[in-house]
Amino acid sequence: MSKECPHCKEKIEYLEVSKQIEGTRQLSDPGFIQIYPIQWKPPEEQKEPLIYTCHVCLAEIEDETLEAWGLK
C-alpha cells in the first residue's frame, strides 16, 4: 500500500513511528548553577503518544490523515 504524503507529495510506503515523552519535573544540583532549568516528569505520569512522520520529508502526519488511511 502506498500513499501520498500530504506535505511533500511523495509516494510513501511506510511511516516513521516514535514516542515522545511529555511532562516536567524540576531537577536541582546544589553544586551547579543552572542557567536554564532542566525539567522532567516521574515515569508514572509520563505520556508517550505515538508520532507518525513521513520518511521522506520527516513531517508529522496529522491524525485526520491517519484515520482516512485506516491507521488509527
Segment 20-41, tens digit of pLDDT: 666 555 555 556 555 666 666 6
Compute the distance between CA of residue 64 and CA of residue 6 in angstroms, rounded to an integer: 11
Of all helices (H) and strands (E), which one includes residue 64? helix 63-68
**Average pLDDT of the segment spanning 4-31:** 76
Q: State the pLDDT at residue 71.
A: 85
**Average pLDDT of the segment spanning 53-57:** 92
Q: State the pLDDT at residue 18.
A: 85
The residue ranking higher by pLDDT, 38 or 67, is 67
Q: State the pLDDT at residue 72.
A: 82
Characterize 5-37 residue by residue with b for buried, 16 or more Cβ atoms within 10 angstroms of its Cβ, and e for exposed.
bebeeeebeebeeeeeeeeeeeeeeeeeeeeee
